[in-house]
Structure 1
Amino acid sequence: MKAIALTQALPLDDPKCFTELELPTPTPGPRDLLVRVRAVALNPIDTKVRKRRAPDATKPAILGWDAAGVVEAVGDGVTRFKAGDEVWYAGDVTRDGCNAQYQSVDERIVAHKPRHLDFPKAASMPLTTITAWEGLFDRMGFNADHPKLNEGKSVLIIGGAGGVGSIAIQLAARVAGLTVVATASRENSAAWCREMGAQHVINHQKPLLAQLKEIGVGEVDGIYNCADVDTYWAGMAEAIRPQGKICAIVDNREPLNLALLKPKCASFHWEFMFARPMYKTADMEEQHRLLTRVAVLMDQGILTTTHRETLGPLTAENLRRAHQRQESGTTIGKMALVVE
Structure 2
Amino acid sequence: MSPTQKALFLNKKFGDLVVEDAPIYKPGPGEILIKIKATSLNPVDWKIQKYGIFIEEYPAILGGDIAGDVEELGEGVDEFRKGDRVFVHGQFVNDRSSFQQYTLALASATARIPPSVSYEQASTLPVVLTVSYVGLYNENPHGFGLTAPVSEETQGIYGGTPIVVLGGASSVGQIVIQLARLSGFSPIITTASLKHTDNLKSLGATAVFDRDLPASELVKEIKKLTNEPIKFVYDSISSNITQETGVELLAPGGQLATVLPVTAKVDKDKSAWLILGMPRLPHNIELVETLYHDKIAGFLEKGIIKPNKVEVLPNGLAGVPDGLARMEADKISGLKLVARPQENL
Task: Say yes or no: TM over 0.5.
Answer: yes
Change (3 A) 1:192 1:327: farther
1:290-305 alignment runs, 5 A limit = 290-291=291-292, 292-305=294-307
Q: Are the counterparts in 1 of residues 70 and 86 from structure 2 also a CA contact under 8 Å? A: yes
SS at match of 2:298: helix
8 Å contact from structure 2 (residues 255, 271) kept in 1: yes
Which moved further from structure 2: 194-203 or 75-84? 75-84
State the 1:283 CA deviation.
Answer: 5.9
| In structure 1, C-alpha distance between the alignment counterparts of 2:198 and 2:171, rounded to whole Å | 15
1:45 corresponding residue in structure 2: 44
Equivalent pair of 1:7/1:55 in contact (CA under 8 Å): no
Residue identity matched to 1:116: S
2:216 is the counterpart of 1:212: no
Name the residue aligned to 2:288.
287
Percentage of pairs with the same residue = 24
Alpha-carbon deviation of 1:9?
5.3
Distance of aligned partners of 1:189 and 1:328 in 2 relative to their CA distance in 1, 3 Å threshold: farther
| Residue 88 (structure 1) shift | 0.4
Q: Any conservation in 2 of the 1:218–1:239 contact (CA below 8 Å)?
A: no
Q: What is aligned with 1:14?
A: none
Tell me, yes or no, if the aligned pair for 1:86 and 1:113 is still in contact at 8 Å.
yes
Alignment match of 2:271 (pick from 267, 272, 289): 267
After superposition, where does 1:1-340 map in structure 2 within 5 Å? Answer: 1-8=5-12, 17-53=16-52, 59-96=58-95, 97-138=97-138, 139-143=143-147, 144=149, 145=151, 146-184=154-192, 186-205=193-212, 206-207=214-215, 208-216=218-226, 219-252=229-262, 254=263, 256-258=264-266, 260-262=267-269, 266-274=270-278, 276-277=279-280, 279=281, 281=282, 284-291=285-292, 292-316=294-318, 318-329=319-330, 330-340=332-342
> What code does the residue aligned with 1:273 have?
G
Q: Is the 8 A contact 2:35 2:70 kept in 1?
A: yes
Distance 1:282 1:75, change over 3 A: farther
Question: Separation in 1 of the partners of 2:161 and 2:108?
Answer: 32
1:108–1:285: 8 Å Cα contact kept in structure 2?
no
**Given the two structures, how large is their TM-score scaled by the length of structure 2?**
0.84
CA contact (8 A) 1:66 1:125 kept: yes
- Residues 64 and 91, structure 2, Cα contact 8 Å, conserved in 1: yes
**One-letter identity of the residue aligned with 1:272:** L
Q: How many pairs are equivalent? A: 324
* Structure 1 unaligned regions, length at least 5: 12-16
User: Structure 1 length as normaliser, TM-score?
Assistant: 0.86
Q: Find the aligned partners of 1:310 and 1:163 in 2 and give their Cα distance.
A: 16
Given the superposition, is the C-alpha separation of residues 332 and 148 from structure 1 closer, same or farther in structure 2, using an over 3 Å criterion? closer
Q: 2: distance between equivalents of 1:18 and 1:333?
A: 23
Q: Deviations over 1:104-139 (max 9, x none)?
A: 122232111223111001111121112111212222
Amino acid at match of 1:43: N
Give the secondary-structure state (helix, strand or coil) at the position aligned to 1:23: strand
Task: Please give the secondary structure, in 1, of the residue aligned with 2:175.
Answer: helix
Please list the CA deviations of residues 294-337 of structure 1 after superposition, one character each: whole Å capped at 9, or x if unmatched.
Answer: 21111112221113322234232x10121022223342132211
SS in structure 2 at match of 1:157:
strand
Are the equivalent residues in 2 in contact too, given 1:69–1:87 (CA < 8 A)?
yes
The alignment partner of 1:141 has SS state of coil
Q: Distance in 2 between matches of 1:161 and 1:234?
A: 19
Q: What SS does the aligned partner of 2:190 have?
A: strand
Aligned pair in 2 of structure 1 residues 282, 32: CA closer, same or farther (>3 Å)? Answer: farther
* Cα contact 1:46–1:63 (8 A) shared by 2: yes
Instruction: Find the residue that maps to 2:285 and give its secondary structure.
Output: coil
Q: Secondary structure at the match of 1:149?
A: coil
More divergent stretch after superposition (105-114 vs 119-128): 105-114
* 3-state SS of paired residue (2:64): coil
Distance 1:217 1:306 in 2: 32
Q: Describe the superposition over 1:176-225 as per-residue Cα deviations: whole angstroms up to 9, x where unpaired.
A: 343211111x2323343223221111223221323322444664221001
Q: Sort the Cα spacing of 1:148 and 1:2 in 2 relative to 1 into closer, same or farther, 3 A.
A: closer
Deviation of 1:79 after TM superposition, in Å, equals 4.5
Contact 2:317 2:340 in 1 (8 A): no
Cα 1:55–1:93 change in 2 (3 A) is closer
Q: CA deviation at 1:83?
A: 2.3
Which deviations, in whole Å up to 9, do the C-alpha atoms of 1:161-187 show, x marking residues without a partner?
Answer: 111111111111244343211111x23
